[in-house]
Amino acid sequence: MSRALGLKADEVVRLTVLFCAGEPGGAVAALVPNPVNLVCLGGSVLLLRPFGPREKPADGITDVFLRAWTDALERLGARPVLLDGWDALHRRDGGARPGTNILRQF
């Protein structure tokens, strides 16, 4: 895919996501919102807060996924803007993909 898009290896950012697999060959469920659904808006990046595993670091960011995502995006010069979609998109069995759809004009 990188070759088809003309991307170099250093232009691809890997972000951690946690999945739960069912039966072999069956469905897989994301346990945190997948950042692939993020929306770029100028220098800002809108993404759903992951609500991942916690730790107690000195800088106050306790969500280990949030820390990794924020660090990776900030290295690219993007400003992460976190949205809370827990109730609307997770607890009520909605999906992040339809919840983050936007109308784009080119």
Per-residue pLDDT reduced to its tens digit, 17-56: 777 887 888 887 777 777 777 788 888 988 888 877 788 7
Residue type, 75: R
pLDDT digits (tens, 9 = 90+) for 57-105: 766 668 888 888 888 889 888 999 988 776 666 565 555 555 556 666 6
Tokens of 85: 């979609």
C-alpha 10/C-alpha 1 separation (Å) is 14
C-alpha 47/C-alpha 83 separation (Å) is 6
C-alpha 30/C-alpha 96 separation (Å) is 10
